[in-house]
Structure 1
Amino acid sequence: MKFSYSAIWDDTVALIRAHGSLIAALAGVFIFLPSLLLAYLLPQPVATEPGQLIALMSEYLRANWMWLLLENLLNMIGAIAILRLALHEGSSTVAGVIGAAFALLPFYFLASLLSSILIGIGFALLIVPGLYLVGRLTPLGAVIVAEDRRNPIDALRRSFEVTKGRGWAIFGLVLVVAIAGIIVTVVINNLFGALFLIVAGKDLGLFLTLVLASATGAAFVALLATLYAAIYRNVAGGSSAKVFQ
């Protein structure tokens, strides 16, 4: 199938329209709430001098790594559940997709870890190889979920297989969507954050700003997960009407 940005975006929109309420519920529980709780209960340090930032962040990570790992795992469960919802017909209940997500979490985590190592090595080799690997490994999570591949090495191999000749095209699409999403979330957070501070005062305004930032962040992650599902459907030979069993 031809790799078409417009077709993939149309498929992404169609998936969101078809499963919007369930995607919102999953993103709310597994992405929004963990992000909000972590930001409120364990706020990141603010450096008064530029030289302090690295030291402060290093100490923050050492002190809170368990909670950060837990948040990351919950986010992964949410992403897997959204992929499951998008890629498997009949996965129409929250309980069903959450159960499947928990079953796949260990394999998804290991594959993501291996993927991060490969991409990190690629970035260490003059950056360009890392960017290319991002494109080749973008559908990795969707491969695991759609094809129930529980061997991380096999999932990596399959991701390279379905993205052959399309690595840069996939990277370009993800980059465009990511840049657009970041711009939109930054504008919304800054605009309404300032409004909250003016209308609600400092304490309540800051809390409302955290809520908004967590909500826009969760929406962005859910959008990317749905986009990755649509990319997989395209490169693996599917279409907006095709569902992988």
Structure 2
Amino acid sequence: MTKFDMGAAWDDATTLVRAHLPLTGVLAGLFFFLPGMAMALLGPVQLAPPDNATPDQLMAMLMADMRQQLPWLLAITMASTLGSIAILRLWLARAGISVGEALAFTVSVIPTMIAIFLVQSFLFGFALLLFIVPAIYLLGRFAAVYPLVADRDVRNPFTALAGSWQLTSGNGWRVAFFVFLFLLVLIVISLIVQSVTGIFGLRGSFGYLIGGVINSAVAAGFALLNTAVIASVYRQLSVRGSGDIFQ
């Protein structure tokens, strides 16, 4: 059994991003940056609580805000997922492929990705009911799902989930800690950036536009790096031949 090395995985992830940035940067802009900008410019305005609002009013406002934000968040999540699959396909394909071929492959696996999203949402939701620790563990065990789909053309969502579970066997907590630590850093830095850009101006102003560009660019950069992180996990735990791209 291969023992997962977090340091080596991080080195692989950053090297992968640097080596292929000109090519994957276009896909990151299309699938990561543009959806974020669309939500910033066209998405619903976050509801503000009235003065002296009661707890019931605050809860009602929160639910209303969630309802108006949810379609946009789902659309961005789907775009980000498809972008990750296209980039992983370029990185992991055992024979060189073009961007067009990677995009065509991504379109063909949309039903698979929707099914995986629904199954994972159910499993993570159930794990959260058991407190956060089981959900963190699932982050590690399912870290290789997307790379498996992209590399091995897995169309059955349950085969992809089971394959990731098998690949991460014996390394679940190491991979979980690696992925969770990265996501935690991502969230903290993103919140800091958003708090800074929040003072640039109100919606409709030039400052707000600049802030939206910065926030979307940071989010796109993290999404690209996150894709490299799961690729590095898959690379390290899967048995690959001498002709593969990561050798």
Q: What TM-score, normalized to structure 1?
A: 0.86
Q: Secondary structure at the match of 1:165?
A: coil
In 2, are the aligned partners of 1:32 and 1:217 still within 8 Å (CA)? yes
Closer, same or farther: CA 91–67 of 1 in aligned 2, 3 Å: farther
1:229 to 228, 231, 234: 231
Q: TM-score, normalised by structure 2?
A: 0.85
Partner of 1:23: 24
Structure 1: state its 5+ residue gaps: none
Give aligned pairs, total. 241
Q: What is the CA-CA distance between 1:68 and the residue it aligns to? A: 4.3
Contact 1:193 1:208 survives alignment (8 Å): no
Match of 2:217 in 1: 215
Which structure 2 residues correspond to residues 95-106 of structure 1 after superposition, within 5 A?
Answer: 95-106=100-111
> What is the CA–CA distance in structure 1 between the aligned matches of 2:59 and 2:24, rounded to whole Å?
36
Counterparts of residues 50-61 of structure 1 (less than 5 Å): 51=55, 52=57, 54-61=59-66
Structure with the larger helix share:
1
Structure 2: 5+ residue runs without aligned partners? Answer: none
Q: Percent identity?
A: 32
Partner-residue secondary structure (3-state), 1:77: helix
Give CA-to-partner distance per residue, 1:56-88, whole Å, 9 cap, x none.
353345456555443332222211111112211
**How far is 1:101 from its partner?**
1.1
Preserved CA contact (<8 Å) 2:197 2:215:
no
2:172 paired with 1:171: no
- Could you tell me whether the CA contact under 8 Å between 2:139 and 2:179 is conserved in 1? no
RMSD: 2.7
CA apart distance, 1:138: 1.5
- How many Å apart are 1:8 and its aligned residue? 0.5
- Structure 1 letter corresponding to 2:237: V
Cα separation, 2, equivalents of 1:182 and 1:68: 16
